Structure 1
């Protein structure tokens, strides 16, 4: 559990500190490339510790998820896949939200919080959900508002976006037990 907690701290603390005085001074000292390198290394170390921590923890059951959450999780994941791709590729619905990446992570976390119930999963997914909400709030305070992000996939962008979303969702659905553990949904 120590590795998981330390990994979450190393993963999220640099993200939370972006734009704060210590990070601005560090960027001035190291330059843009050096700063990005150090930032990336710390976050990557955090990610490695999260993976190692999740693999080593003796999971204690905190709660029994309701049966309906097993059916809601795939729907939330489909929406998360769409928002994730939208954040990278643009599209018409970007007029409705300025935070597609943060919303994707929030839906991913909520889907897994609702479908799991173990201590390590709850710690992991609750931390991601909380960070996503905080990121949305911080962007709102900075004045980030919805705007059209033109699609990058050409003439039939929205159709391609839907097809890529479906492909990503089905890939995650089929590979989830092999990559991340858990039971198969198909």
Structure 2
């Protein structure tokens, strides 16, 4: 069973009501407020705490903070320095086994901002640091009519993000064997 607990945690329960998985959010903001679950058009699954007396909503948990093998427009790929939440991409063990594989992509926040590819503890790819225009090891991203991108590097957050500006659907996927795919649906 899938449900939202009284304190705003998302939980999955087995047949015997044993918690199999929990979002582990504090939920203290929801002590006397109803929790609301919302699946956004952009693909983000969110738990809000809604104040009954106003339109104010407090974010408790969102799936975009735990990206898995897919990076969607609007997601932040990196680290929130305030909460400590890291947002690496981790791929599936195989095409039909969603448990984590050895392959991972993360944003390195030591020194210059860059994306690193890992197979277990071994660094396997490093396309160079962000130079303000693109990753120095890739051809520079040119302004286009499909998407915009940005790297943010400050005391609160370090992340890479892209947004779609046309009617093209795009997602980045880290495959089970460590390859990165950029998929477009026109």
TM-score higher than 0.5: no
**TM-score, normalized by length of structure 1?**
0.21
Q: Which has the higher helix share?
A: 1
